[in-house]
Amino acid sequence: MKWTFAAGVSAPPRPQPATPFVLGRFGPRNRLAWDGEACEVRRDARLVGWADCALVIDPTGWLLIDRRVAGAKRIEGLAALAVVGVADGVLCATTGHGRVEIPLADLEALVPGKHEVELVATYPLRDPSVRVAAKVLVADSTRALVPVRTTRGTYEVMLDSKALGLASGTELVLGDELWPGEFAYAEVAGQPRRPASQASIPRSFSITCSPVARSADPALGITATVAPIAADHAPLLAEITADPDDDIARAILIDLLADRGEPAAATFALLRAGKKVGAGKRKAALGPLAHYFEIEFHRGLPWAATLVRTPPDDAPSLAALLGDLRLGLLARVRCHNGPLALYRHLLASRALGGLRHVEAPGHEELAILSDTLPGQLVELTGVRLANGLALAMLGDTAFSAVRHIELVAPRALTAAQAVGYAAALPALPLRRLSVVPQGPTFPLVLARRLIPRMRELELASLELAGVTLSRAGARIDVVGEGPVADLARAAAS
């Protein structure tokens, strides 16, 4: 193979050809899509595409995908080239001294094995008529720095002082300008003309082509949805989420899904029977849920979910999720480190109709839940103690069925803040209230304010730093040890 090296030229070609390949994000991954197919590529990958091929460039090498054939080609030996684009049937890539022009036909025709490439140098900016007088500014035993002024500009040219016999102050003539600041020869008085160019332009090199399999599509399964069952079966879903140990309702639902030919039914049946099921099969049985949540199964069906940090954000994927029956099987959901805006959208969609246990950090989430699931929730977790509006909303009748509330205390807390937060809590009759710190230790300043209010708040129990205070009529029992327990026992006596 013969490729052209245009010395001194690095400008990318314009315009780029149209290509059917699209490189974009899908959740935490990069996805290359074309003609209804797709595969995953590295997060740091770049794409150069033309009619039938895509060249994916990343630090590990070049990956060539031809949509006309299966698999892909890994090309090694070209890592030093920075690809800039395609024009007129040629792939252009740059080095420190110019542009390599690679015929696309050569790349497409590569077969597995080692290939020798001959690099033919050209000089598009060459001006043989240039002759310019100069003087060595400074020189050592190996290099000489020569300031040069031409019609193209002023340059600092580095020459081989040993080969040219140069010393500081030596006068010379540079000629045949290959490109701005690079000259073909140097003449020193009384010596023969010698080559002056210091540019390292390879004349040949080897590349290796290896066949590889394409990676899987990161969106695999996103459209494998399970449509909702008939309206008269809706109470069945409510039974499943209301009672985690209702095995009969689970069996009925799995049978209904099997009768409809849903592939997920077989996996759910195996899990319900206590059989071991591989992670791949479990993920496939979740369809779009697997792309948005970390899922926990209970008695064969998805039961609890935690939103992932970077879920897909395209509209078709979200529509698939919201239209999937399996979303209605979730009894517990957490936002954790996932995007809060998406979490709120999911809560407001009413597709999570079976929720009983919900993470609700602030008043915005509580307001949505009071509208979508009034009287249904039994547990609220992750409520921020520093959110005064959220504290006030805990007494709303929409949350009358809630029996456990988890508050998250701020990492840093002053005495004045503790007074305000404790005072903001409404009466929570027969609720179990637990307060967890964000830091390594529980703030005693908060315990001093909450413990005396336990009777006033009508709590069934109060949990602080592993210490549990339980009401038994007028008596308060304390279980636990440590400074918080000492405070509790002093208040209860």
pLDDT value, residue 167:
94
Instruction: Note the pLDDT of residue 176.
Output: 96
Per-residue DSSP letter, 16: P
* Distance from C-alpha of 127 to C-alpha of 88, rounded to nearest angstrom: 26
Which residues lie across from 467 on neighbouring strands? 464
Residue 294, pLDDT above cutoff 90: yes
Q: Please tell me the predicted confidence (pLDDT) of residue 412.
A: 86
Lowest mean pLDDT among 48-57, 138-147, 249-258, 434-443: 434-443
How big, in percent rounded to 5, are the helix, strand and coil portions of the chain?
25, 35, 40
Q: Which domains, from first to last, does the chain contain?
A: 2-123+205-212 (no CATH), 127-199 (2.40.50), 231-492 (no CATH)
Question: Which residues in 336-364 are b (16+ Cβ under 10 Å) and which e?
Answer: eebeeebbbebbbbebbbbbbbbbbbbbb
Per-residue pLDDT, 230: 80
Q: What pLDDT does 198 receive?
A: 78
> Does 316 score more than 80 pLDDT?
yes
What pLDDT score was predicted for residue 405?
98
Sheet with 153-160: strands ordered across:
138-139, 143-150, 153-160
Residue 94 CA, distance from chain mean position: 30
For 348-374, write each residue's pLDDT tens digit: 999 999 999 999 999 999 999 999 999
**What's the confidence (pLDDT) of residue 37?**
94
Express each pLDDT in 77-128 by its tens digit.
Answer: 988 888 888 988 999 998 888 899 999 999 999 999 999 999 999 999 999 9
Residues 211-243: pLDDT tens digits? 999 999 999 999 999 998 887 778 899 999 999
Q: Is 439 exposed, middle or buried, given 0-12, 13-18 or 19+ CB atoms closer than 10 A?
A: exposed
Task: Using pLDDT thresholds of 50, 70 and 90, give the confidence band for residue 199.
Answer: confident
Q: What is the pLDDT of residues 383-429, one digit of tens each?
A: 999 999 999 999 999 999 999 999 999 988 889 999 999 999 999 99
Percent pLDDT > 90 in the chain is 82
Cα angle 474, 478, 407; round to 5 = 95
How far apart are alpha carbons 291 and 307 in whole angstroms? 9
Q: What are the phi and psi torsion angles at 56 (to 5°)? A: -100, 120
Query: When comparing pLDDT for 176 and 12, which is higher?
Result: 176
pLDDT at 330 over 80: yes
Q: What is the pLDDT of residues 18-77, one digit of tens each?
A: 899 999 999 999 999 999 999 999 999 999 999 999 999 988 889 999 999 999 999 999
pLDDT of residue 123: 93
Q: Is the pLDDT of residue 11 over 80?
A: no
pLDDT at 13 over 80: no
The runs of H, that is alpha helices, within 298-362 are 315-322, 340-348
Which residues are CB-neighbours of 237 under 8 A, at least 6 positions away? 229, 253, 325, 328, 329, 353, 354
Which pLDDT score, from 0 to 100, does residue 346 have? Answer: 97
- CA–CA separation, 107 vs 110, rounded Å? 5
CA–CA dist 379, 370 (Å, integer): 13
